[in-house]
Structure 1
Amino acid sequence: MEKAHITSTALAAMDLRQKVGQMIQAGFDGLEPSKEIIELIEKHHLGGVILFARNVQDVNQVAALTDKLQQAALNSGHIPLWISIDQEGGMVARITEGVALMPGQMAISAGGDPGAAYDAANLCGQELRTLGINMNFAPDLDVNVNPDNPVIGVRSFGESPQSVADFGAEAIRGYRDAGVVAVAKHFPGHGDTNVDSHLDLPTISHPRERIDQVELLPFHEAIDAGVEAIMSSHIVSPAFESSKLPATLSSAVLTGLLREELGFGGVIVTDCMEMQAISDHFGTVQAAVMAVKAGADCILISHRYELQIGAIEAIVAAVESGIISEERIDRSVERLLALKRKRLAEANAPMAIEQVGSREHREKARVISEASMTLVKDDNGYLPLRHADTLVIQMEAAVSSVVDETLHMPLTLGRALSAAGIRTEERMIPASKAGEELEVLHELAERFEQIVVGTYNASFHPGQVQLVKELQRTGKRLIVVALRNPYDIKQFPDISTYLAAYESRPLALQSIARCLIGAIPAKGRLPVTLSPEYQAGWGGSRL
């Protein structure tokens, strides 16, 4: 569609409500634009729209949806929209069918080549832009040093600050070269928390020196790499903020640290203001005003229309009452408009929609996926698998955080192994229900020579641990594959054969199957430490 031209004098022609509207990104329900989102665009000059799985049916529908949203802005004489998404790859992705879904960040890091982060981001970015999406809330620059982190885990490039920085900088360049705005997150770092900020308010209590060395290093280098937007986290950091304010609401963090000390001149986007870390402790609407006062440029409210309207009205009222100066609003809007002028200037997508999810693109994703397979141990030489009747027990992917949304998986590990030539019988079990199946599965295991178990965040589900230990007692050839966080082995350290795959998307399952039968080597290396024996960098074993 034709794009409206954003002039360098656009700000001067805008009234207060138009400016405030530009500072809001909103979500909505449905596969078609809702009347509420259209009203926000036409009457309230909305700056952007965020898409979730609830808005996605297939690639053609997404392309039509984004065009209708932009058309609503154009027909109203308004500035084109940001249309954003969380398409991190791997286990966190909103569009999973019809695209070349890239492996997640920890899988990419396990492959050892930062260039793969560029390739994955660049190709993902090209496909997103073809579908009308111009902003991606990725890469995740959190340094995952806490095995008990319930929300980051495999979304991180790993536990090494320098590695996260190197891979993250390449991903940022990849998105930028595709014409999509990369939004590095979650500043100043969500990797060392054991609380999900979707559910409550986490605190990182480390001293400033440690935070400089770990959490902030990737953001320093992202700024040096030219990152255009950074997302704030809803995390309390006493090293920077004496009050119990999360980063999103802290002037000391957003303005003092990010703007003034780190020298970031781009757009600051908040994480969703409906997350319970904000809504339960401060209230979404009032927190929107607090975030603007603290230095945020773009306020993300992903779900409820009344909160989206409420935030706009509250920010306008705060300016009119003198709580926030209009000059402060102008600085944010100028940053937003400058980035829109830069990134939304081209009307043409980089490829035809028929190329989205093409064989060539999927082949690139396959190469990255296969490079990630990490053989942690095979003490008894159970790999490659024998061509014998094999029991495959797979824990179904479970929504471990709101960020996962839904995790429908059209392929199973058993079917992937069958396609690779192994005779299998499969049992799929909900991740939280494994403990209820112990007796049945123990009896079933007696009929098989070898057993493959795919665990899924076993650290958070004691029943999975019980199941693996029960199967160990059968004395059968037991192979465990971690289908999300590689830390599962900490719960059964004496398992003889253990492979880390980092995700259970169909592409990963195919790579696992090929690795287990010896068709490809296990070249990946651990991005995180599992134990003193299996530290970050361990791996590279060949089957």
Structure 2
Amino acid sequence: MPRITLSFIFLLLSFATVFSQESTKGKHHPSTLSKAFYHPDAKLNKMVDSVYNAMSLQERASQMIMTASSTAVNLGYPFNSALNMVSKDIAANVVFLKGSSTDFRKEANQFNTTRLQQHKLQPLLACDCEPTLLPGKFTDITDIAPASEQKTTQVVIENTNKINKVIEEVGIQLNFAPVVDIALNKSVINKRSFGNNNKDIITFSGQFVETTQQAGLGATLKHFPGHGAVSGDSHKQSVYIDGALTELPNFKALILADEPPIAVMVGHIVVKNNEKYNTNGLPSTLSRVIVTDLLRKELHFEGIITTDALNMVAAAKVSNADWKSVEAGVDLVLMPKNAVLLNKMIADALSKKDAMSKQLEASVKRIIRFKLLTQQ
């Protein structure tokens, strides 16, 4: 199978640079990023196909897996472990969890340099850079107001621009924000939300998405189909939507907006007593009813669908959760329990000429397309 040559990598980088320059022109709906991502032209599609065809099955599988780098114990992997997974084509993407932005900038450079030396596509780098969490995640960052204190679109714009500056300096392309859940759940959402008024949540979350993506960065709605009206924290236990999906209209409005988000993160929420969307005891991340039937087909979301971290108790306690999330239809598996095994399972499935292999190919190509548009 052909390899991606260094000259081809430089061609991709030059394409991304042109895109980045164009994305600074004109502030209007939709952003240059979302237009290019959701309506790719023939040139971009050809480049995506070329990159995909040059990859081994293992490399393709790695595009669907995101590992983590963190200085905090039990909150991801140390940098060297994450770099090892990336360099060996186990995981082609990294989320930065906790540490200084200075350290993360150095790590990002090392990830990118390593992949360039291997003549391979750079990793997709992400963070949970929500207004409320960022100062705790990136230990040297201050002066960003919590989402709960942002009460006008101008304040949202100002704070989101501060976040964008941090992200750009580190070299991150995808922000796992904004939180679209209502603030009712004090266990885990609370001040991370823009409040309990649905109109405000839609307005301010939409502004966050627009400001982020006008800067050429991807935004992510979370935690689909809603973590704010439930009791408990899915990091520690199973949580349940009992009956109607009361927060779904907020996600729907933002997905169908002029500036749709690049990504949606599905939460580990079990849905019960709902005839149409019952997940049969599984968290939504592992349920095809939620991921494919509702999000992909009913809401027509064609962006990147990512899981919440699969090391969280609500998902980790389910047998074979990593693969179940892939079967459900996600594109990006965040912090799987066994990335090596998952990579092998995805690669094996990609080798078959069936419906699942076509689903996985589409997932891999979404990730590649976003990388080509955002990496410089």
**TM-score category of the 2 structures, normalised to the smaller one:** 0.7 to 0.9
Say if 1:144 and 1:191, in contact at 8 Å, map to a contact too: yes
Say if 1:126 and 1:178, in contact at 8 Å, map to a contact too: no
**Structure 2 Cα separation of the partners of residues 258 and 172 of structure 1:** 18
Matched, 1:175 2:218: no
How far does the alpha carbon of each residue in 1:161-195 deviate from its partner, in whole angstroms, 9 at most, with x for none? 12111110000111112222111100000001111
2:164 alignment counterpart: 125
Say if 1:120 and 1:174, in contact at 8 Å, map to a contact too: no
Q: 1:195 to 1:100 in 2, by over 3 A?
A: closer
Matched, 1:328 2:359: yes
Q: How does 1:455-470 map to 2 (within 5 A)?
A: none
Residue 300 of structure 1, aligned match among 324, 328, 334: 334
Structure 1 residue 218 displacement after superposition: 2.1
Structure 1 residue 264 displacement after superposition: 0.7
Q: How does 1:390-429 map to 2 (within 5 A)?
A: none
**Structure 1 Cα separation of the partners of residues 216 and 123 of structure 2:** 15
Q: What letter matches 2:112 in structure 1? A: Q
Structure 1 residue 320 displacement after superposition: 5.5
1:81 alignment counterpart: 123
1:222 alignment counterpart: 254
1:506 alignment counterpart: none
2:265 alignment counterpart: 231
Q: How does 1:473-512 map to 2 (within 5 A)?
A: none
How far does the alpha carbon of each residue in 1:216-274 deviate from its partner, in whole angstroms, 9 at most, with x for none? 12212221132100100000123312511211011111111111111111000100011
Q: What letter matches 1:258 in structure 2? A: L
Residue 279 of structure 1, aligned match among 311, 316, 320: 316
Matched, 1:266 2:307: no
Structure 1 residue 100 displacement after superposition: 4.8
The count of corresponding residues between Structure 1 and Structure 2 is 324
Say if 1:142 and 1:190, in contact at 8 Å, map to a contact too: yes
1:96 alignment counterpart: 139
Structure 1 residue 315 displacement after superposition: 2.9
Q: What letter matches 1:157 in structure 2? A: F
**Structure 1 Cα separation of the partners of residues 224 and 146 of structure 2:** 19
**Structure 1 Cα separation of the partners of residues 11 and 93 of structure 2:** 16
**Structure 2 Cα separation of the partners of residues 4 and 199 of structure 1:** 45
Q: 1:251 to 1:334 in 2, by over 3 A?
A: same
1:405 alignment counterpart: none
Structure 1 residue 5 displacement after superposition: 4.6
Q: What letter matches 2:64 in structure 1? A: M
Structure 1 residue 85 displacement after superposition: 1.1
**Structure 2 Cα separation of the partners of residues 275 and 322 of structure 1:** 33
Sequence identity percentage: 25
2:155 alignment counterpart: 116
Q: How does 1:133-172 map to 2 (within 5 A)?
A: 133-146=172-185, 149-172=186-209
1:46 alignment counterpart: 91
Say if 1:125 and 1:179, in contact at 8 Å, map to a contact too: no
Structure 1 residue 333 displacement after superposition: 0.7
Q: How does 1:166-205 map to 2 (within 5 A)?
A: 166-205=203-242
How far does the alpha carbon of each residue in 1:466-517 deviate from its partner, in whole angstroms, 9 at most, with x for none? xxxxxxxxxxxxxxxxxxxxxxxxxxxxxxxxxxxxxxxxxxxxxxxxxxxx
Structure 1 residue 48 displacement after superposition: 0.9
Residue 56 of structure 2, aligned match among 15, 22, 26: 15
> 20-29 or 183-192, which moves further after superposition?
20-29
Say if 1:90 and 1:101, in contact at 8 Å, map to a contact too: no
Residue 71 of structure 1, aligned match among 89, 108, 113: 113
Q: What letter matches 1:61 in structure 2? A: D
Q: 1:91 to 1:45 in 2, by over 3 A?
A: closer
Question: Which has the higher relative contact order, 1 or 2, with Cα contacts under 8 A spaced 6 or more apart?
Answer: 2
**Structure 2 Cα separation of the partners of residues 137 and 4 of structure 1:** 28
Task: State which structure, 1 or 2, has the greater radius of gyration over its C-alpha atoms.
Answer: 1
Q: 1:269 to 1:4 in 2, by over 3 A?
A: farther
**Structure 1 Cα separation of the partners of residues 236 and 296 of structure 2:** 28
Q: What letter matches 2:265 in structure 1? A: M
Say if 1:188 and 1:233, in contact at 8 Å, map to a contact too: yes
**Structure 2 Cα separation of the partners of residues 259 and 61 of structure 1:** 37
TM-score, scaled to structure 2:
0.80
Q: 1:242 to 1:91 in 2, by over 3 A?
A: closer
CA RMSD, aligned part only? Answer: 2.4
Q: What letter matches 1:273 in structure 2? A: L
Q: 1:288 to 1:324 in 2, by over 3 A?
A: farther
1:24 alignment counterpart: 65
Structure 1 residue 106 displacement after superposition: 0.8
Q: 1:12 to 1:205 in 2, by over 3 A?
A: same
Provide the secondary structure at the position in 1 that maps to 2:179: coil
Q: 1:26 to 1:71 in 2, by over 3 A?
A: same
**Structure 2 Cα separation of the partners of residues 22 and 5 of structure 1:** 20
How far does the alpha carbon of each residue in 1:30-50 deviate from its partner, in whole angstroms, 9 at most, with x for none? 499744322221221532111
Q: What letter matches 2:122 in structure 1? A: P
Provide the secondary structure at the position in 2 that maps to 1:204: strand
How far does the alpha carbon of each residue in 1:73-109 deviate from its partner, in whole angstroms, 9 at most, with x for none? 1111221111111121235541132x3541111111x
The structure with the greater share of residues assigned to helix is: 2
Q: 1:319 to 1:287 in 2, by over 3 A?
A: farther
Q: How does 1:337-348 map to 2 (within 5 A)?
A: 337-344=368-375, 347=376
Q: Which runs of 5+ in 2 are unaligned?
A: 1-6, 13-46
Q: 1:71 to 1:52 in 2, by over 3 A?
A: same
Structure 1 residue 127 displacement after superposition: 2.1
Q: How does 1:434-453 map to 2 (within 5 A)?
A: none
4+ residue runs over 6 A deviation: 321-324
Say if 2:270 and 2:281, in contact at 8 Å, map to a contact too: yes
**Structure 1 Cα separation of the partners of residues 341 and 71 of structure 2:** 21
2:283 alignment counterpart: 246
Say if 1:248 and 1:270, in contact at 8 Å, map to a contact too: yes
Q: What letter matches 2:366 in structure 1? A: R
Say if 1:4 and 1:80, in contact at 8 Å, map to a contact too: no
